[in-house]
Amino acid sequence: MSFVQTLKQARLRNDSLVCVGLDPEPARFPAHLRGAPDAIFAFCRDIVDATADLVCAFKPQIAHFAAQRAEGDLERLITHIHATHPGIPVILDAKRGDIGSTAQHYASEAFERYGADAVTLNPYLGRDSVQPFLDRADKGVILLCHTSNPGAADLQELPVRGTDGGELPLYQHIAMSIARDWNANGNCALVVGATWPEQLAQVRALVGDMPILVPGVGAQGGDVEAVIRNGATRGGEGLIVSSSRAILYAGAGEDFAAAARKAALALRDDINRHLHARP
């Protein structure tokens, strides 16, 4: 089953657009876990097990593992998710981007080594740089479009002139190009930050039902109501609403996983309330 199909089924089964971002920060772990040799794995596993029936996807962020020499924990974690919670897709948040044979190696890293179902990529190097990923019809290819940070506007909102002579912001040009030219296998998705709700509406208008991964609710302050209003499809789909810190560190004691569950449930219900309140 393809990533897009798995994602849809997980959403239906769990009635959820929530994606829990797995960004382990050992300094913020509960005291009883700190210093354990596999603390990173154990922390993430407990979060996963406490929230797996409330999400449509998990999204481990690879830098948080790499900075701690914890690639082994990341491998174990993804294996654990697939074995214990089958049907919940794993998005490897890596934002890779390189060319030729190096792009092939990054695809091997994401899909063979880690067994991810989808990966985030940076489109700046152009379509051929992404081709080894696009060719994997079963895997999701989630391309940065408009990121959640304030500096996103530096380049992503520059007015560019298209081949038809019309002018539009770079992120819209990219969204259109991907929807029109890069998505032959129907496995593309985009990243648009919750902190940029107007831009989310613009992207939704350009890309039909393509899934959009939306980080930036929670700790970064994105507004859930605006995300749903501007980003959901008519059918109430098309979004992967990702929250990391607000869920992972909802509690600081031995009950951190229960606190994370509560936070994930609250986000799911908040999203669903806004979905159902739409005209």
* Helix, coil or strand: residue 215: coil
Task: Indicate whether 100 belongs to the interface with a copy of itself (CB under 8 A).
Answer: yes
CB of 159 to a copy of itself, least distance (A): 5
**Residue 246 interacting with a copy of itself (CB under 8 A):** no
If DSSP codes are grouped into helix, strand and coil, which group holds residue 163?
coil
Residue 180 sits in the site that holds a copy of itself (CB under 8 A): no
Could you count the other beta carbons within 10 Å of the beta carbon of residue 265?
16
Stretch that binds a copy of itself, among 12-20, 151-159, 250-258, 263-271 (CB under 8 A): 151-159
Cα separation, 138 vs 258, whole angstroms = 34
Residue given tokens 């038809």 in the structure block:
164
Q: Is 150 in the site for a copy of itself (CB under 8 A)?
A: yes
Tokens linked to 118: 């989808």
Q: Which of 90, 152, 212, 224 binds a copy of itself (CB under 8 A)?
A: 152
The piece of 134-142, 169-177, 224-232, 269-277 that touches a copy of itself (CB under 8 A) is 169-177
Question: Is 184 among the residues that bind a copy of itself (CB under 8 A)?
Answer: no
Residue 59 a catalytic site member = no
> What's the count of helices (H) and strands (E) in the chain, helices before strands?
12, 10
> Can you point out the beta strands (E) in the chain?
18-22, 57-60, 91-96, 118-121, 140-146, 159-161, 167-169, 188-192, 212-214, 239-243
If the CB atoms of residues 170 and 275 are measured against a copy of itself, the closer one turns out to be 170
Is residue 253 classed exposed, middle or buried when 0-12, 13-18 and 19+ CB atoms within 10 A define those classes?
A: exposed
Q: Shortest Cβ distance from residue 43 to a copy of itself (Å)?
A: 15
Q: What is the dihedral of CA 10, 12, 13, 15, to 10 degrees?
A: 100
Is there binding between residue 102 and a copy of itself (CB under 8 A)? yes
Site string for a copy of itself, 186-225 (x = CB under 8 A): ----------------------------------x-----
Q: Which residues carry out catalysis?
A: 95
Query: Site residues (CB under 8 A) for a copy of itself?
Result: 23, 25, 61, 63-64, 66-67, 69, 71, 95-102, 105-106, 108-109, 112-113, 122-129, 144, 147-156, 158-161, 167, 170, 173-174, 177, 220
